[in-house]
Amino acid sequence: MKDIREIIASWRIGERMNNFFKGLGIKILDLYMFKSFLGPFIATFAIVTFILMLHFLWLYIDELVGKGLSFNIIMQFMGWGACTLIPLALPLATLLASIMTMGSLGENNELLSMKSAGIPLPRIMLPLAYIAVLIVIAAFFASNNLIPVAYSKIYSLREDIGNTKEEIKIPVGIFYDGIDGYTIRVDKRDKNDLMHGILVYDHSKDNGNTDVTIADSGRFSLTPNKQGLLITLYNGTNYHDSYTMDYRDTSIGVQKIKFAYQQIAIPLENYAFKNNSEGKFAGEVMAKNLSKLRKDRDSLSKEYNSTVSYLSKRALIIDDFVHIDQLDTARNKGYRNTIAYSDLWKWKSFDDKLRAYQEADIRIKEVWNTSAFNESQVYQIAFPLRRTIIETFRKFTLSLACLIFFFIGAPIGSIVRKGGLGTPAIISILFFVLYWVIDISGKKLANDGAISPFSGAFISTFVLAPIGVFLTWKSTKDSAIFNPESFFKSIGNFFAKLFKRKKKSFKIFSKESKAKQEMSVKG
């Protein structure tokens, strides 16, 4: 009886939910497509982010190990690092989730049932397109607001972690100079972490080996705040050389103090993590949003234009052109007509010719050096300007990549009709590698000035957008472009036609050769 009540209650809840969504204009099909897409999207985004985080951790593991960092600092570093991976994880997750969703519908014949009911494929994909638009909006806000903060934080953490010295690990049998102002040697260490045969040289006063402590045994420990090293020594001797020799008194005083128990406190610097670089890298290009990038772009553009104008005027008037009036036809009034070209390469003597060539060589070197200097001056302003413009455009490329990958993945899933992580993962990786290589190459070429910043930022969009349009068009026509049977059938038809042509040409050749033989016999 209880089970029946639960079923009735659940049916009533489902009916109420359906009525609620109907009131909002959302149909059951749309709700089903929402559920089918959101699950794979969240799962694939988490998996892709985790895989990329492993690569991120592998790159910076050497900077984290051995610094005695707390779990909180490591989690901050990994968390902000995960935020910087959103431009890679989000498009790939969108592509993979769209292929998995449509592929699962096709594999379970649900897509066929919807089409049989008279629902066209664009209508089936419409709820997923709404989600794709929401992903695009979220990607833009993440690119403009979250990722710049993440880069600023990750730069600051790397700076602070890099300034943090490694933990003190005193080896056995060698002189250890990892502590500023001290050199320590330990003969051996027992199972209880008690050290024997301890030798401590105090060089903090820069007087050489004037302060030496020898102890039978002892322990080393850091203070709780890692601001000092506490050395506890047992049964030892302190030696101190006064070193007061002069030209009158050449004697050296030595102070020797025996002790049964002694503690030495050594101050330490930069052995504890300190957050000193907060906000230091806010001026980096990757750590700025659109409003800051636009301000930088305006100021850099003005500086670039003024620098180019100044260098151009200087090159025309001072450096390169000695006779500037030669270029002004209004002033020289036919200057070229006054030159006797036949006398240009005639010299009065060999010394005049040699002198002319030497002056020309010197002038060419001056122009070359001036051009190289001007190029370096322009590059110092043009490079940050190009980077600023590129990052301004790239605030939008992440959103466009998510949208394009959706219109690539959803048609492929409806054509392939394979769900899960097998075939969709392989196809997604192929398209993502293509996108990543084109995007990185375009960014590098734009930074170097080989192509314009707009082309470098949107070159991946220009390449992948036609692919998405083509696949969407093919899927609406129920094309079997990725069907293995049709693929092998097309290959078989190609070779069949090829063999038929060869066979036909062989028959024609054999007939011609036979006719030639008959003619030769008659002759």
| Per-residue pLDDT reduced to its tens digit, 160-185 | 777 666 666 777 878 877 777 788 88
pLDDT grade, residue 13 (50/70/90)?
very low
Burial (CB count <10 Å: 0-12, 13-18, 19+), residue 124: buried
- For tokens 């300190």, the residue is 274
Alpha helices in 85-184 (DSSP H): 86-107, 110-116, 121-141, 147-163
Q: Is the pLDDT of residue 342 over 70?
A: no
Q: pLDDT-based confidence at 18, cuts 50/70/90?
A: low
pLDDT tier, 12 (very low <50, low <70, confident <90, very high otherwise): very low
Amino acid at 483: N
Give dist(CA 111, CA 32) in Å, integer: 12
- Residue 215: which H helix or E strand, with range? strand 211-222
- The helix/strand/coil state of 261 is strand
For residue 384, give Cα distances in angstroms to 291, 380, 448.
Answer: 16, 7, 11
Residue 410 pLDDT > 80: yes
The pLDDT > 70 percentage for the chain reads: 72
Residue 440 has pLDDT above 50, yes or no: yes
Give the Cα separation of 309 and 275 in Å (integer).
44
The arithmetic mean of pLDDT across residues 77-87, rounded, is: 86
pLDDT of residue 8: 37
pLDDT at 88: 85
What confidence score (pLDDT) does residue 10 get?
Answer: 44
- Secondary structure of 419-488 as H, E, C letters: CCCCHHHHHHHHHHHHHHHHHHHHHHHHHHCCCCHHHHHHHHHHHHHHHHHHHHHHHHCCCCCCCHHHHH
Hey, what are 81's tokens?
A: 């690092």
Number of H helices, E strands in the chain: 13, 6
Whether residue 338 has pLDDT greater than 50: yes
262: helix, coil or strand? strand
Residue with tokens 């899927």: 475
Q: Could you tell me the pTM of the whole model?
A: 0.67
Q: Assess whether pLDDT exceeds 60 at residue 2.
A: no
pLDDT at 9 (0 to 100)? 44
Most confident of 238-242, 310-314, 374-378: 374-378
More confident residue, 513 or 350: 350
CA 257 – CA 280 distance, rounded (Å) = 50
Average pLDDT of the chain is 75
Residue pLDDT, tens place only, 61-77: 777 776 667 778 888 88
pLDDT band at 203 (very low <50, low <70, confident <90, very high): confident
Q: What is the pLDDT of residue 119?
A: 79
DSSP state of 89: H
Task: Give the residue among 387, 383, 427 at the shortest CA–CA distance from 409.
Answer: 427
| Distant-in-sequence, close-in-space partners of 259: CB < 8 Å, separation ≥ 6 | 233, 235, 236, 237, 238
Residues 131/26, Cβ–Cβ less than 8 Å:
no
- pLDDT level of residue 39 (50, 70, 90 thresholds): confident
- What are φ and ψ of residue 148, in 5° steps? -60, -40
**What percentage of residues in the chain have a pLDDT greater than 90?**
0
Q: Find the range with the poorest average confidence among 172-181, 415-424, 448-457, 503-512.
A: 503-512
What H or E segment, with its residue span, contains residue 243?
Answer: none
pLDDT at 461 over 80: yes
Ramachandran region, residue 173 (left: φ > 0; alpha: ψ -120 to 50; beta: rest): left
pLDDT at 24: 44
Q: How far is Cα 448 from Cα 445, in angstroms, rounded to an integer?
A: 5
Name the pLDDT band for 259 (thresholds 50, 70, 90). Answer: confident
pLDDT at 246: 58
- What confidence category does residue 483 fall into, taking pLDDT thresholds of 50, 70 and 90? low
Lowest-confidence pick of 4-18, 304-318, 409-423: 4-18
| Dihedral-angle region of residue 256 (phi above 0 means left; psi in -120 to 50 means alpha; beta otherwise) | beta
